[in-house]
Structure 1
Amino acid sequence: MPHAPQVRIPATYMRGGTSKGVFFRLQDLPEAAQTPGPVRDAILLRVIGSPDPYGKQIDGMGNATSSTSKTVILSQSAQPDHDVDYLFGQVSIDQPFVDWSGNCGNLTAAVGAFAINSGFVAKDRIPENGTCTVRIWQANIKKTIVAHVPITNGEVQETGDFELDGVTFPAAEVQIEFMNPADGEGSMFPTGNLVDDLEVPGVGTFKATMINAGIPTIFLNAADIGYQGTELQEAINGDPEALARFETIRAHGALKIGLIGSVEEAAARQHTPKIAFVAPPQDYLSSSGKQILASDVDVLVRALSMGKLHHAMMGTAAVAIGTAAAIPGTLVNLAAGGGERKAVRFGHPSGTLRVGAEAREEGGQWVATKAVMSRSARIVMEGWVRVPGDTINLA
């Protein structure tokens, strides 16, 4: 029986923030994958190496974590005053689906550079030396993101001395502005409350701040669920019962804020919402062995992504943290000491991160106007990725 040969597709493998992903230009994808649908999903799954019942993604570009099982498709923007449309696909590791329900804030740091290198930004907008401002339309959540990309000798500057906890080597600093960062339409607090009592049958009832900024996120108090807020990955990811409990809480939170119609639907929506827990500052050792002092941070946050505790912090969740911290009365704000603030430095498993946020109350509802953070990005590899031809011939 003959087998279809492999097909090669132009692609770039990039690190953005504390994530990695495979980047494509829309026009470089096979024609059948240039529109949303099963062929596109099948190609991206095969590129990353999913679904993999072994959970290793050996036969693909993924690295078997939620931070590295990611894909990005960029195209010339159809939106006025924007340079590029950015579509993010979170690829499940062990299940046959791609989750298109939200953004990746970390990979956003690489979008500006990829857009410049791929010809999506007009040459007269790129300085010989300085900073190029790239206006990005985030197509998953229909929001504007502005990336400030350093340029040296007319090219993207990737190397530098900016250090980001969770990334081993320094690189050039890229400042990212998330404009009006509430994810999609509707209220930033979908229940209308800064704090809710979230009832989870068989588990308990918990105080929860459920916010829709950067990405829908459910915040709990660490103490209410038996944690300190200083935990590293092994403390959570090595405990199957804890992971199952977090997923049950996440599913009921998703139901309460209207993202799903039944708790069963949460299994097919792994990317959103996120679930996180917060605590007041304490001393702890980061995953690299670096000492983090209580005086170094305003609040401790641990967040789960795709069912596992994240090794650092998702960029979109950082937006949610910064926004919630700026609003007096949320669990994040209270854990940070309460009051008004325009920036917060939080501790995560790999270290610390500072994020600025602006929020104001309008007509009895809170509105986030902007969140700002610095990340870094670089090309790891570029050329072609190959997939078996029968992946494309599904139609």
Structure 2
Amino acid sequence: MSFLPQIRIPATYMRGGTSKGVFFRLQDLPEAAQQPGPARDAVLLRVIGSPDPYGKQIDGMGGATSSTSKTVILSPSTRADHDVDYLFGQVSIDKAFVDWSGNCGNLSAAVGAFAISSGLVDASRIPQNGLATVRIWQANISKTIIAHIPVCNGQVQESGDFELDGVTFPAAEVQLEFMDPAADEDGDGGAMFPTGNLIDTLDVPGIGSFPATMINAGIPTIFVNAADIGYQGTELQDAINGDTAALARFETIRAYGAVKMGLIKDIAEAATRQHTPKIAFVAPSASYQSSSNKTVQAADIDLLVRALSMGKLHHAMMGTAAVAIGTAAAIPGTLVSNAAGGAKQAVRFGHPSGTLRVGAEAVQDNGQWKVSRAIMSRSARVLMEGWVRIPAETLTGI
């Protein structure tokens, strides 16, 4: 019996913020996968090792968590005043499904470095020493991200002393600016609060009715008060991820919130839209022990936030959800700014791994809130580069 050799695809495995993912240049993908569709999804699923009924992704590059089951495709930008187009695919662990509905804010921190190192940024825009400004078009959500990448002797600088809670080792700081994070592509900021309200009453059959702030900034996010759903806001992963009934309740809340936000028409559709919206719960600041046993003091944070991603409590905080947090915190009258003790242009919030600071510039224009940009710092580095391999049968019959 003869067997076809595996397909080799140039790829780079990178950490960005508190996530990891496999990065590709569009031109390096198999020809059939260079366009959106079943072939592309099949390639990425096989690279990551999904679907895996064991939930481990042993036969792939994924790490069996929402933070490590990720893929990125970059190409020279087709838009004026941008350097690179960035497409993010969140790969389901146990289903044959790639969710293209949102961005990954954490991996956004690695996009600029990968773009420079892969020759996707014009050499004239890269200083010999200093900060390179990489203009990124986030193709999933039609938004601009500006990444400030440290450069030393003409090369991306990855080492440094910037510490990020949720990441074990320090690295070079990468500042990200999420431009017009709540605006539509035509610049209309009216979609920031899809219901038109800063706070709605969310009715969830079998669970209850409670206040919710539903915002589209960075990524569509549903915020609820921790106390309204029986939590303190100091919980770590094990307190929720080991409770199947709690996870089911969160997913039900998320589904009903998605309908109210207009993202889906029926709650059954939520199963095919796992990446968005996110659901998070907030509480006033309080002291707690982080997952690394570091004490987070109430006086050092403005509020507590816990968020779920792909059906599990996140070990730190999704970058895009941090944008939503910063945006909502800057606007008086949201559940987030209420938990923070009032609207703030920059907040430091506590998450399971520690703390994170995020800022947003919010103004009210003709009765509507608009945010020009949200800013936060992350770090990124290459973990491995070379080729990933997938069986040739991956593309058979597609």
TM-score range, shorter chain: over 0.9
Give the corresponding residue for 1:126. Answer: 126
**Of 223, 228, 231, which aligns to 1:227?**
231
Alignment partners' CA distance in 1, 2:257 and 2:326? 20
Alignment partners' CA distance in 1, 2:195 and 2:346? 25
| Contact 1:50–1:93 (Cα < 8 Å) also in 2 | yes
Residue aligned with 1:187, SS:
helix
Give the corresponding residue for 2:26. Answer: 26
Alignment partners' CA distance in 2, 1:309 and 1:3? 42
Alignment partners' CA distance in 2, 1:49 and 1:170? 29
**Of 268, 280, 287, which aligns to 2:272?**
268
| Contact 1:13–1:22 (Cα < 8 Å) also in 2 | yes
* Structure 2 unaligned spans of 5+: none
Taking structure 2 as the reference length, the TM-score comes to 0.98
Give the corresponding residue for 1:141. Answer: 141
Give the corresponding residue for 1:99. Answer: 99
What amino acid sits opposite 2:229 in the alignment? I
What amino acid sits opposite 1:308 in the alignment? K
Structure 1, 307-316 or 357-366: larger mean CA deviation: 357-366
Alignment partners' CA distance in 2, 1:363 and 1:309? 38
**Of 200, 213, 218, which aligns to 1:214?**
218
Residues 141-160 of structure 1 aligned to structure 2 (within 5 Å) = 141-160=141-160
Alignment partners' CA distance in 1, 2:149 and 2:266? 42
Q: Aligned-pair distance for 1:184?
A: 4.7
Residues 90-141 of structure 1 deviation map (CA, whole Å, 9 limit, x = unaligned) = 0000010000000000000000000000111111111111000000000000
Alignment partners' CA distance in 1, 2:319 and 2:80? 26
Give the corresponding residue for 2:348. Answer: 345
Q: Aligned-pair distance for 1:180?
A: 0.2
Alignment partners' CA distance in 2, 1:335 and 1:182? 21
Aligned length: 394
Alignment partners' CA distance in 1, 2:147 and 2:257? 32
Taking structure 1 as the reference length, the TM-score comes to 0.99
Give the corresponding residue for 1:384. Answer: 387
Residues 178-327 of structure 1 aligned to structure 2 (within 5 Å) = 178-182=178-182, 184=184, 187-327=191-331
Residues 102-113 of structure 1 aligned to structure 2 (within 5 Å) = 102-113=102-113
What amino acid sits opposite 2:95 in the alignment? Q
Residues 70-89 of structure 1 aligned to structure 2 (within 5 Å) = 70-89=70-89
| Contact 2:64–2:93 (Cα < 8 Å) also in 1 | yes
> Is residue 2:47 matched to residue 1:47?
yes
What amino acid sits opposite 2:297 in the alignment? L
* Structure 1 unaligned spans of 5+: none
| Contact 2:184–2:191 (Cα < 8 Å) also in 1 | no
Residue aligned with 1:270, SS:
coil
State the identity as a percent: 78
Alignment partners' CA distance in 2, 1:297 and 1:116? 35
| Contact 1:187–1:365 (Cα < 8 Å) also in 2 | no
| Contact 1:141–1:183 (Cα < 8 Å) also in 2 | no
Residues 330-357 of structure 1 deviation map (CA, whole Å, 9 limit, x = unaligned) = 000000001x321000000000000010
Structure 1, 117-126 or 152-161: larger mean CA deviation: 117-126
Alignment partners' CA distance in 2, 1:184 and 1:288? 39
Give the corresponding residue for 1:394. Answer: 397
Residues 352-377 of structure 1 deviation map (CA, whole Å, 9 limit, x = unaligned) = 00001011112221111100000000
Residue aligned with 1:64, SS:
coil
Structure 1, 177-186 or 20-29: larger mean CA deviation: 177-186
| Contact 2:15–2:110 (Cα < 8 Å) also in 1 | yes
| Contact 2:183–2:191 (Cα < 8 Å) also in 1 | no
Alignment partners' CA distance in 2, 1:292 and 1:341? 20
**Of 341, 365, 373, which aligns to 2:376?**
373
